[in-house]
Amino acid sequence: MADRKIGVLVSGRGSNLQALIDNIRAGVLPVKISVVISDNGAAYALARARAAGIAACVIERGRFADKAAFEKALSEKLEECGAELVAMAGFMRLLGTYFINRWPLRIMNIHPSLLPSFPGLNAQAQAIEYGAKISGCTVHFVDEGMDTGPIIIQKAAPVLGNDTEDALSARILEQEHLAYTEAIRLWAENRLEVSGRLVKIK
């Protein structure tokens, strides 16, 4: 199982990427990250990948005539590197029909709320503004909607009365690092079975 390969898509600092790298090194996660791809050449996640000896490259949307051409380039690079699963780790783009059809039920994303509550951007601020008492994170398979795919793992974090967005984000991030590793490990062990919206853990 340890030779199962994943590709990771990033746009920013790469905290979840680092957690995956650390858990692979610790023997907790039986996969290999074969490539890290960013749409942002300044993403710190690229430095994290290179420091870990992982192939890292930049594929910028602006270089392509349209979204489908951009996604074709992403997909071809992932396939070239032998990826079996695509893990979005702070990748700030919605993937479209072309990409999702190439990778059906083989794309995971992590979102900082308990979906279906608070999809989209600034989920932590949304939770505070709404007055939620519990938030958390969700790992889900990706479909063409925004944070609407079948849910794999959720972990909760309390929303405190004096919370700032940064404080809640940090508390949720601790759970994200646990949840993403757990979801990818279940995939690597062939323990995920999807029936419609329901993801069963075998």
Catalytic site residue from 111, 140, 171, 177: 111
In this structure, what DSSP letter does residue 27 have?
A: T
Element (H, E) at 126: helix 123-130
Three-state SS for 57-68 is EECCHHHCCCHH
Cβ atoms of 170 and 122 closer than 8 Å: no
Position of tokens 């910028």? 60
Quote the strand ranges of 63-159, DSSP E: 85-88, 107-111, 134-141, 151-158
What gap in Å lies between CA 105 and CA 33, rounded to an integer?
18
Number of H helices, E strands in the chain: 6, 9
Phi-psi region of 38 (alpha: psi -120 to 50; beta: other; left: phi over 0): beta
To the query of whether residue 177 is one of the catalytic residues in this protein, the response is no
Pairing state between β 134-141 and 192-195: unpaired
Query: Which residues are annotated as catalytic?
Result: 111
